[in-house]
Structure 1
Amino acid sequence: MDNLFETTVQRAFKEQFNTYKNKKIILYGTGVVAEFILNNNPSYNIIGLMDGNKKHGELLGKKVYSYEEVLKNKPDIIIVATAKRNIEMIYDRLAYFCHTNNIPLYSVDGRNLFTVYGYQGLSDSQIRYFDVHEELLKSQIEKNEIIYFDIYDVLIMRKTLIKLDVLDIVEYRLTQANIKIPDYINARLKAEQEVMRSHGTINEIYEKLAEISNISVENALEAMAVELEVETSITCSRSSIKAMMRYALDENKKVYLVSDTYFQKEFLESLLLSQGITGYSDLIISNEHKRTKREGLLSFWDNNYSNESSLYIGVDSENEIVQENQSKFNIFLIKSAYDMFLLSSYKDMIYSLNNINERSLFGLIVAKLFNSPFALYNSDGKPKVDSNYNFGYVFIAPLIIKYVFWIIGKMKNEKYDDVLFAARDGWITHRLYSIVREKMRMDIPKGIYFQTSRTLCTLASVKTEEDIRWIAEVPHAYEPEQMLKRRFGLANSEIHEYVEENHVDSVWYAYYHKEAIFLNAKRIRESYLNYIESLNLKSEGNYAFVDFVSSGTCQLLLDNITTFHLEGLYYCKYNNNDESKLNLSGDAMFENMVEQVYCSHSYENYLLLETVMTSLNPSIASMGLDGEFIYGEEVRNGKEMMYVQEVHQAVEDIFLDYIENMHIMNIEINKFVVDSIFSYHQSRYTNEQCEIFDNLRLMEDFGQWHMTLPRAT
């Protein structure tokens, strides 16, 4: 900075912020302005910094905070310490955060930015982004001969929520590989900061890291290989921009790809190829030409084509680049997926994400919802979800992923001989449990998909007239004859006609058939116990019993016919005032024991979850004379079966991506984080247009009711 600018900044800072001298101050920025403020105001209580999407690093001993850390440190003020041209853009980024958390937001010259720009939710520039659509970009491509596509956040993006989360994953992988680098993340960032002053490469960053951390260059380059591997695994293309690039090529435009990056050309070419991005004329990268876009990289290159019109497609966080190049290029700006998330109806989720695993899981969702930079077109900020697959990916999968890891935690901390995943609710959880056990080589029980149903357990447990009464009194939607067939497994030939004047009620009608009921129950019980014996379970063993949402009926009935001990592991257990069920062993991720106390959004909407927490088989109705399971009739239609398949596929896809590329062991995802994500399926947050919810039916498998589920509002 020149002396006049320094003098002006220092005078304004001291005049305007003297009253905050002993308060908690956070500076937004890590550039020359912030560095000047820190150097010249050591007596001010500046507790830390913010900078874009960063959550790591430091400047002059001051830590760079994430949004979550800012909230934990409870600052009294945030001061935007950047060049004047960037202040409004940063205000747009911070206004909602500061307004929601009642944090004053000022510019370095002392202006209250809420007063300067006003606050009515989203700014005009943010609202205008809802008008950006694909055809606008296509028309710009048609008007120009040379098209420059930026690489990161334009053609490709990271699936981590923020860029620096990559380093958390790298650090974990280094630990797993026994590559020891003291304080890796801060050392890596410090090395980057030093090397990038001269537009260096990632090789040079790791050579500098070796010097900073006092490790061998060989070890440093091993760590670099891990970072490159992680970068490759967490990268995806932005499909609609990739299609726009293909359109430009088909229109015979010259296409160049641009990036301010420390990655070398060979790595970028390989990364782009892995995402199906080919056909461009060349890569224009800062470390090769020793200048950034801000320093004229585009102008330097474009001088070769001074007689041809050019279009640069970049991200709108590059305002300063736009201002310097708008007379030389036509410019089309899009938002990164992360900035679209902060612009959307989902933005409040930022306050709930408190660790790397929570951010990584939500990052996958952001990468799905906002992969297209045009996803918010005509949206009012509510993203559209219009397929079963995407509904499962965004809303259902996080719940199941959390539940599976909760079960795994129980397996690690308790002594179980094995874990029984109850059909049909346990089908998808058993599959994911098996996948993670194998892929992560966990020393936990193998897991058994346990064939059962409430109807089967009920049939097998009937031994007394009291059992008959209990079953017959449970409300049902059947005619009396159908009740005997479905509840007690009697054949048509064993059922006497129900005559109202001859039978007081359904209980007495059932008593009238008690001999047939007892005989049938004994046969079914023996067959079912034979099946259980075939699983080689220990007669005195201790087994976890996984069911989804339940009061504990199956666990109770199984306890009555088996000798081993069961402990329930439920997603949610609810109280139906049955003391015998309340006394069952086990635990639940959520408990709805008292109606007046809030449980979870997922419990309040568990009927929707029941439509996918199932298998493609009907519920087990009984057991045949040959000892085989007899399945009830399939009441779901073809669309409903396809819905289950597509949701399950989505759940498995995001689960594999998460555990293979992002998950860090022993960092727990909070159950209310995934519950909050699920709550965003409501229409106040999401423009849900899945055809299945026009008429999604649910049949309770014990025959108590059937219904068409209402669409979420």
Structure 2
Amino acid sequence: MINLENLLNKNIAIYGLGTETERFIAQHGDGLSIVGLLDGFWDSGEMYGHRIISLDEAVKVGVHTIIVVARPGSCKAIAKQIGERCAKEGIKLLDVRGKNLLKKTEVAYDFEGIQAGSEKELMDEIDKADAVSFDLFDTLVVRKVFEYTDVFELVDYKLRQNGIVIDDFAKRRLGLEKELSKSFAPKLVDIYGRLLEDCGDVSLSAEDMAELERKIDQGLIVKRAGMDEAFSHAKVCGKVYITTDCYYSKRQIEELLNDLGINGYQDIIISCEYGKAKNQGLFDVLKDQVRDAFGGKENAKILHVGDDEYTDIESAEKSGIDTFRVLNGRDLFYTLGGLGIEAEMQSIADKVKLGMVFSRLFGDPFCFEKNEKKLSVSSAYELGYDFIGPLMVDFTHWFKEMVHKADIDEILFCARDGYLLQKLYSQIDNSIDSKYFMTSRTAAIRAGMESAADVEYVDSMRFFGDDRKALQVRFGIDKEFDSAEGRTALIIEKSNQQKENYKKYIEKIGAKGKQIAVFDFVAKGTSQLFLQKLFDGHLKGFYFLQLEPEFMQRNNLDIQPFYSDEERDASAIFDDYYVLETIVTSPDPSVDEFDLEGNPVFAIETRSSESIRCAMDIQAGIEAFFKDYIGIAPEEHRTINKRMDEKLLSLIKKVHVNDEEFYKLVVEDPFFGRMTDIREVL
């Protein structure tokens, strides 16, 4: 607890208007010089015998310390909002436990030193209980947003789509919930009824608005799979209840739980059904229900399991109920110093991305005691969902924006890197004709050699092997030659035939646009350079990353990369793209050339079936993330945040992946004769 003796005779302000603040003032207010209360939504009025003031006024009257009376996760959000100003003005910012909120937590990738109850300890406590109560939100279920208040922004966007504009909607929606909750536990329709009283003429009723929010919110809620075992164990050992502060009806919560496969509980005790929250006597309702279930037994032992220190733990203990605290996703995230990601979160799109990641990455509240306490993902699928999905979401949306700006009339998603991107792109845009286009650097070169200068250019790219091997691998020629000129002649002769074969393939698939976008993941532009010779239309390259762009300047190639030179050089993406190239690929072998009928001739597959399976599992995770994201984030607010994407991608090097096949992947580049174990680039 905070040492208040150090604050005697100092001007202080208290941040927070909830009942926790009322309790803090009642217990500790005497002797403290409280000049006012702060809140993120109100800056005037009076509460608990003190004025509500703005941060500007707190600075003006010389506040020495601001005490934040809130749960740990909320404290972090508040520190993000006002911390910079407090540091600038020399104001101390402490939470109610005495923690300095201006001090940055060091980023960590393991859970060494964490203090929390273990899964075994929870099971032992369940074994001792006659009845077990579980909190619902952030304990049994989680939302795929960073904080539950992000839901209000999504509601605001939907209202605006319907022509309903309410100024400061999210702020007012939360403020009214807090205000009503001081005296009773409101239903959602109560909150919107009060909102409409303040807003005046709105075409929707309170019931309509409450239903809109419910549909959006419950579409975000997923089961916290890491609690399955504890919940199942409790059902075997005794009677199970769910006790929750919630503004949804019992019927609505029952439908939600049924959809999530959560069943077998005795009853759901919901605050708005009884008009009282957990800190207002809801746990007494739980006690009454348990007593009745045990035939009037007064001393039935009840255990409540939840994540919130105050509403779940302190409030239950005040009612004489035993407790066990589990960590929610934000607790685990902040334990790791925010993984260096929190500072990059800027928009609702970012909050959706992080919420989606954390719903899985921290879905197990006991992950801190597993896998040698390392931050871990359970599978290759999860690796794709958590760490690569966000980047691929942003790249695909950038790609869409660029091809429309360039008036492209046809898109060629070039093999093999275009295999996944075409599937992602088709989910957000089908207005431009697109094709998965069979090609490779090798195939483009074999069909594009027209002069000694072309051959010289290819030879300038170092091959890790002898000249004969290079001739076989790069040009598909296994013949003897007696001179450099003879070698060049062989290559051009072979290329003339390959050009005709390749054109048959192009004609077969109907690729004949005038402005053609070609996608390549990471490249200099060699493939595009030689493919251009096969098309009448203009090829414009859209790459994730272009290597050595100055190398292609003399060839006047039209290329636009997702990462500019400046961005590439200032980021870690250059260190991580090797991993992406290995993953974002087709399950088929690379195409080497085309036969006389214009059919692709594939190279011998060098990857193991296990490696291909692993890459496809990762891609499945990426696709799932993509689908979830576009189902949640409003299209007009899908902002791109490369910095955050990079931070998430870089975690691949920090986490433990519970799929050994991932660590057996090989970064292949047969054109250069290189094979690199993925561990060497992690």
Instruction: Give the TM-score range, shorter chain.
Output: 0.7 to 0.9
Residues in 2 aligned to 1:140 and 1:427: alpha-carbon distance in whole angstroms: 51
1:542 and 2:515 aligned: yes
Alignment-mate amino acid for residue 49 of structure 1:
D
One of 44, 54, 57 as aligned partner of 1:60:
44
1:512 and 2:486 aligned: yes
Residues in 2 aligned to 1:461 and 1:89: alpha-carbon distance in whole angstroms: 59
Find the counterpart in structure 2 of residue 610 from structure 1: 581
Name the CA shift for 1:149/1:130 in 2 (closer, same or farther; >3 Å). Answer: same
Deviation of 1:695 (Å): 3.0
Residues in 2 aligned to 1:316 and 1:199: alpha-carbon distance in whole angstroms: 17
Deviation of 1:469 (Å): 3.0
1:627 and 2:598 aligned: yes
1:559 and 2:546 aligned: no
Find the counterpart in structure 2 of residue 654 from structure 1: 625
1:645 and 2:616 aligned: yes
Name the CA shift for 1:207/1:409 in 2 (closer, same or farther; >3 Å). Answer: same
1:462 and 2:433 aligned: no
Find the counterpart in structure 1 of residue 51 from structure 2: none
Residues in 1 aligned to 2:664 and 2:521: alpha-carbon distance in whole angstroms: 24
Residues in 2 aligned to 1:570 and 1:520: alpha-carbon distance in whole angstroms: 29
Residues in 1 aligned to 2:273 and 2:11: alpha-carbon distance in whole angstroms: 43
Alignment-mate amino acid for residue 145 of structure 2:
T
Q: What is the CA deviation profile of residues 602-652 of structure 1, one whole-angstrom value per residue up to 9, with x for unaligned ones?
A: 222211111112111111101012210101111101221011110110000
Find the counterpart in structure 2 of residue 233 from structure 1: 219
One of 522, 546, 557 as aligned partner of 2:496:
522
One of 432, 442, 454 as aligned partner of 1:445:
432
One of 149, 162, 168 as aligned partner of 2:153:
168
Pairs within 5 Å for 1:217-296: 218-251=204-237, 253-296=238-281
Name the CA shift for 1:270/1:320 in 2 (closer, same or farther; >3 Å). Answer: closer
Name the CA shift for 1:122/1:581 in 2 (closer, same or farther; >3 Å). Answer: closer
Deviation of 1:190 (Å): 4.0
Name the CA shift for 1:133/1:155 in 2 (closer, same or farther; >3 Å). Answer: same
Deviation of 1:455 (Å): 0.7
Find the counterpart in structure 2 of residue 392 from structure 1: 384
Residues in 1 aligned to 2:156 and 2:190: alpha-carbon distance in whole angstroms: 19
Q: Is the 8 A contact 2:578 2:681 kept in 1?
A: no
The alignment partner of 1:605 has SS state of helix
The alignment partner of 1:578 has SS state of helix
The alignment partner of 1:587 has SS state of strand
Q: For structure 1, list consecutive stretches of 5 or more residues without a partner in the other structure.
A: 1-8, 19-25, 38-43, 51-56, 63-69, 439-443
One of 119, 130, 149 as aligned partner of 1:145:
130
One of 389, 395, 399 as aligned partner of 1:403:
395
1:697 and 2:666 aligned: yes
Residues in 2 aligned to 1:570 and 1:390: alpha-carbon distance in whole angstroms: 26
Residues in 1 aligned to 2:594 and 2:377: alpha-carbon distance in whole angstroms: 42
The alignment partner of 2:596 has SS state of coil
Name the CA shift for 1:610/1:61 in 2 (closer, same or farther; >3 Å). Answer: farther
Q: Which is worse superposed, 463-472 or 615-624?
A: 463-472
Residues in 2 aligned to 1:707 and 1:168: alpha-carbon distance in whole angstroms: 46
Deviation of 1:129 (Å): 4.3
* Aligned residues with identical type, % of pairs: 24
Find the counterpart in structure 2 of residue 681 from structure 1: 652
1:206 and 2:223 aligned: no
Q: For structure 2, list consecutive stretches of 5 or more residues without a partner in the other structure.
A: 26-33, 47-54, 292-296
Q: What is the CA deviation profile of residues 571-605 of structure 1, one whole-angstrom value per residue up to 9, with x for unaligned ones?
A: 111216524467422321213479xx834222222
Pairs within 5 Å for 1:3-42: 15-17=9-11, 28-31=15-18
Q: Is the 8 A contact 2:349 2:637 kept in 1?
A: no
The alignment partner of 2:365 has SS state of coil
Pairs within 5 Å for 1:39-438: 49=39, 57-58=41-42, 60=44, 79-81=65-67, 103=87, 106=92, 113=98, 129-196=114-181, 197-215=183-201, 218-251=204-237, 253-303=238-288, 304=291, 305-318=297-310, 321-322=313-314, 325=317, 328-377=320-369, 382-437=374-429
Q: Is the 8 A contact 1:575 1:593 kept in 2?
A: no
The alignment partner of 1:318 has SS state of helix
Find the counterpart in structure 1 of residue 561 from structure 2: 588
Name the CA shift for 1:618/1:288 in 2 (closer, same or farther; >3 Å). Answer: same
Q: Is the 8 A contact 1:423 1:452 kept in 2?
A: yes
Name the CA shift for 1:239/1:429 in 2 (closer, same or farther; >3 Å). Answer: same
Q: Which is worse superposed, 636-645 or 447-456?
A: 447-456
User: TM (normalized to structure 1)?
Assistant: 0.81
Residues in 2 aligned to 1:378 and 1:60: alpha-carbon distance in whole angstroms: 48
Deviation of 1:513 (Å): 4.2
Name the CA shift for 1:558/1:91 in 2 (closer, same or farther; >3 Å). Answer: closer
Q: Is the 8 A contact 2:348 2:637 kept in 1?
A: no
Q: Is the 8 A contact 1:360 1:663 kept in 2?
A: no
Deviation of 1:108 (Å): 8.8
Find the counterpart in structure 2 of residue 570 from structure 1: 543
Residues in 1 aligned to 2:100 and 2:143: alpha-carbon distance in whole angstroms: 36
Residues in 1 aligned to 2:73 and 2:550: alpha-carbon distance in whole angstroms: 57
Deviation of 1:97 (Å): 10
Residues in 1 aligned to 2:94 and 2:667: alpha-carbon distance in whole angstroms: 59
Q: Is the 8 A contact 2:131 2:302 kept in 1?
A: yes
Find the counterpart in structure 2 of residue 40 from structure 1: none
Q: What is the CA deviation profile of residues 319-340 of structure 1, one whole-angstrom value per residue up to 9, with x for unaligned ones?
A: 6852662671221001211221
Residues in 2 aligned to 1:350 and 1:293: alpha-carbon distance in whole angstroms: 30
Alignment-mate amino acid for residue 260 of structure 1:
D
Superposition CA RMSD, Å: 3.9
Q: Is the 8 A contact 2:79 2:101 kept in 1?
A: no
Alignment-mate amino acid for residue 487 of structure 1:
R
Q: What is the CA deviation profile of residues 347-406 of structure 1, one whole-angstrom value per residue up to 9, with x for unaligned ones?
A: 431111011101111111111110111112267974212421121112211221111011
The count of aligned residue pairs is: 647
The alignment partner of 1:691 has SS state of coil
Q: Which is worse superposed, 474-483 or 167-176?
A: 474-483
Find the counterpart in structure 2 of residue 483 from structure 1: 470
Alignment-mate amino acid for residue 29 of structure 1:
G
Alignment-mate amino acid for residue 410 of structure 1:
M
Q: Is the 8 A contact 1:618 1:632 kept in 2?
A: yes
Deviation of 1:345 (Å): 4.8
Name the CA shift for 1:313/1:417 in 2 (closer, same or farther; >3 Å). Answer: same
Q: Is the 8 A contact 1:260 1:285 kept in 2?
A: yes
Q: Is the 8 A contact 1:622 1:630 kept in 2?
A: yes
Name the CA shift for 1:198/1:16 in 2 (closer, same or farther; >3 Å). Answer: same
Residues in 2 aligned to 1:273 and 1:388: alpha-carbon distance in whole angstroms: 29
Residues in 2 aligned to 1:617 and 1:706: alpha-carbon distance in whole angstroms: 18
Q: What is the CA deviation profile of residues 138-168 of structure 1, one whole-angstrom value per residue up to 9, with x for unaligned ones?
A: 1111111110111111111111011111111
Residues in 2 aligned to 1:177 and 1:60: alpha-carbon distance in whole angstroms: 32
Pairs within 5 Å for 1:494-513: 495-496=479-480, 508=484, 511-513=485-487
One of 620, 628, 643 as aligned partner of 1:672:
643
Deviation of 1:193 (Å): 3.4
Q: Is the 8 A contact 1:475 1:704 kept in 2?
A: no
